[in-house]
Structure formats: C-alpha cells, structure tokens
Amino acid sequence: MKRLYPLTGSIISVFIALLGYVLRNYREETVSSLLTLAGSFANVFLSWLVVQSVIQLDKPRWQGWKIAIVIAACISISLLLFYGIRDIDEIRERVSVWPRGMRVVYFLLLMRGIILGGFLYYIAYLLRMAEMNQRSRLENERLKKENLQARLSLLQEQLSPHFLFNSLGTLQSMINERAPRQFIQRLADVYRYLLNNRMADLVELRAELDFARAYLHILQERFEQALSVEIDIAEPYLGMKIPPMTLQMLIENAVKHNVADAESPLHLQISAAGADRLTVANSLRPKASGGESLGTGLDNMRERYRLLAGREIEVVKTGQAFTVSVPLLHDPL
C-alpha cells in the first residue's frame, strides 16, 4: 500500500505558499494575494501527491523516467490551476505591456513546474530512502534475532546427536555381521554430517552427495527393491555450493508422499546439467493420505535461496514426475 505522507506534503505546501504570498503581497490586492496563496498551496499539495505516487511505482525502475513523469505532471497541474482560478483576460491585459506578453507567463509556469517537480521529487526520494533503510534495519534485526534463536536451539539439542553418534560407534564395535555394521556406519555418517554442517550456510555438492548416499543406503535397507536411485553428476559440479540438507529434504519428501513397492518402485534421479542447476526428479504416485504437504519444505528452501543468493528454485509437476531444480552456487556468500 502506498504511503503519500499527506501531513508532510501539507507542511511543505504551506511553507512554499506562504513564501510566495509574502513575496507578492506588497504588489497585489488582498483578495488577489489570498487567491494566489490558495492556488500555490493546491499546486504544491497536488504535486506532492503525484510525486509520492510515482516514486513508489515498481515500473519504470529507472529514476530518470520517474523524474520526467513527475515534472510533466507538475507542469500540467500548474497550467490547470492557472486556467481554473485566474481570469485569463485580465492576465492578458496586465501583461500586454510586456515585450512577449503571455509567452513570459507560460515560460514562468513551465519553470515553476520543473523546479517544483524537481524539488518535491528530491524530498520524496530522501523520505523513500530513509523508509527503506529503516525497513532494512528492522529486517536485519529480525533475522539476527531468529538466527540467534536458531543457534540457541541447536546448542540445546546438541547433546542428543553427540550421544547418539558415540553410541552408534560403540554398537558397531559389538556387531560382527557385515550388513548391520555397514548400516550403522552409514547412520553414523549421516549424523556426522549433521553435526559438522548444521551451522553452515553452504557446503560443497561433493559433501552433500556423500551425505545423500549414506541417507539413501539407510532408506534402501528399509525399502529394498521398492526404491530405485540414479545419480548422474559430472566432476566439475562437485566443487559448487548448495545449502546443507537440501538433497535430504527432497529425497525424504519423495519417499514420504509417494507409494513405493516392489511391483512399482519409486524412481529417484539426481542430476546436474547446464545453467549450474541440480535437479531431483521422482516418479509420481501420490499416497491416498499424503500426510504433511510438501509445500512447507519447498517454501523454506525458497526462502533459504532468496536470503543466501537472491535466486529461485524451480518446481515442475507433471502426470508422471515431480521435479525440483535448485541453483548451484560458485562461492559461499
């Protein structure tokens, strides 16, 4: 919603109108001076409202176009008020003794529109910048507060993962069979990754893939032939960056919201292609009672990418597949 700052506009309008009144009062009749005062106030106030409306437009983005629109509008307002509240015949008679007559009047109206538009735009621009800076400060404070709260929560929960990780190591040393030992090792890898990267904004895709493979091993022990996974990522992409646990969230939601059985396995494909994007696609067989919607996780992922890199994720849903494409970043921000 646009803020037009009518009180600020009224104060500026009164000041400029009174200034013009003082300069003209000594050479005009009282009625004419008061008419000039009212006209000047209306001229400035209407121009102020136009300036505030234009400066808050999303388009055009270039300030030069906005200034041109404002000046054109201020000139138009000056001409309309001039013809609306003045006796034009009287003005013509009064200026007939001037060398160029009405041309001078129109030139003065033109200059008044240009000067007034430029001055009001400058004031409005300063107010706009002050408001945006204030919003930015408030948003930064909010993000800092949320970040501190999140870090505090992570510290409070840190005992549980450490305890579980150490217990897994002890349990692994007590088991001789290869399959259980491998399962425990993969589970330990998952928790090691979570402990090492829970505070990071970005991690290398190589590390994220190692974590995803450990997580997928655990899932495949559970689903066996009901889960099919294909990973196709070339070496040049492995050094690029991604928010931690991005792959895990996409894999988890694919398993959570789709039917997977031996007759019709759930197929997952993880790949990287041109335009530096990582794509996770899964076959689409929604469960009858899908549980919690995938939308919350994707919304959180969108927000992470916007805050970290100012970029967007892409989601495509067809009758056969659900595909999410996320940007791969070159450097941590």
Least confident of 151-155, 174-178, 207-211, 235-239: 151-155
- At residue 292, does pLDDT exceed 60? no
Whether residue 60 has a cis bond before it, omega within 30° of 0:
yes
Chain centroid, CA 39 distance in Å: 43
Q: Which pLDDT score, from 0 to 100, does residue 207 have?
A: 92
The per-residue pLDDT for range 50-65, each reduced to its tens digit, is: 888 888 887 777 778 8
End-to-end distance of the chain based on CA atoms, in angstroms? Answer: 32
pLDDT at residue 106 tops 90: no
Q: What number does CATH give the domain 224-327?
A: 3.30.565.10
Per-residue model confidence (pLDDT) at position 25: 54
The domain locations on the chain are: 6-141, 224-327
Cα–Cα distance measured from residue 77 to residue 42, given in angstroms and rounded to the nearest whole number: 9
Q: What is the four-CA torsion angle of 137, 139, 142, 144, rounded to 10 degrees?
A: -70
Q: In 10 A of CB 258, how many CB atoms?
A: 19
Residues 129-180 pLDDT 10s: 888 888 888 888 888 777 766 665 654 454 455 556 655 666 666 677 777 7
Residues 6+ apart with CB under 8 A from 48: 4, 5, 8, 9, 12, 13, 120, 124
Burial class (CB in 10 A: 0-12, 13-18, 19+), 98: exposed
Say what the pTM is. Answer: 0.51
